[in-house]
Amino acid sequence: MVGPEPELAPERILAVLREHGVRFVLIGGFAAVIHGSPYVTVDVDVVPDRTEENLRRLSEALKAMHARVWTVDKPEGLPFDHDARSLAASAVWNLVTDHGRLDITFEPTGTAGYEDVSRDAVRLRILGVDVDVASLADVIRSKEAAGREKDRLVLPVLRRILEETGRGGKT
């Protein structure tokens, strides 16, 4: 698919990743929404396990979704060839797929990556797909460390949700 950026269908992105057996943790804005944030997000952020076999499965999933490199100037994306090794060579991938934007981050700011965020992740069924979602405390930790304006705006709401629900990690 080439043309305008597709509308976000997070359930399809998550389903394709699961169908390919990719081990990952959902983090970022969509994870915040799952935890109760009222702020809308435009993408799905995942932290994949960096093992070679998992990256091979991730590459296959990306091919199935016709993933392309997303840029501001080319929101429809730029084609790129990838495999486990090339995916591992970059810390962050900002992509657009047939189902909307997908950001892959191997070590989200303020975390040590998959092993770190998977420790307190919660398994939830989201739009019909079983997904490991970063704990609200880990989402907050990452957004605090990133220090972006959009994160500073949502942080007070996320802290309040954490305070009111006590959902820092597994309960």
Q: Are 138 and 45 in contact (CB under 8 A)?
A: no
Domain boundaries defined on the chain: 10-164
Question: Looking at residue 166, what is its pLDDT?
Answer: 78
- Looking at beta carbons, which pairs linking 36-39 to residues 24 or more positions away fall under 8 Å? 36/161, 36/165, 37/154, 37/157, 37/158, 37/161, 38/157, 39/153, 39/154, 39/157
Query: CA–CA separation, 26 vs 45, rounded Å?
Result: 6
Task: State yes or no: pLDDT of 1 exceeds 60.
Answer: no
Return the closest-CA partner of residue 82 out of 109, 60, 104: 60
Which tens digits make up the pLDDT trace of 8-67? 999 999 999 999 999 999 999 999 999 999 998 999 999 999 999 999 999 999 999 999
In CATH terms, is domain 10-164 a member of 1.10.10.60?
no
Which tens digits make up the pLDDT trace of 126-136? 989 999 999 99
Query: CA–CA separation, 40 vs 42, rounded Å?
Result: 7
How many helices (H) and strands (E) are present in the chain, helices listed first?
Answer: 7, 7
The amino acid that residue 78 corresponds to is L
Query: CA–CA separation, 20 vs 12, rounded Å?
Result: 12
Q: What is the value of pTM for the model shown?
A: 0.92
Percent of the chain with pLDDT over 90: 91
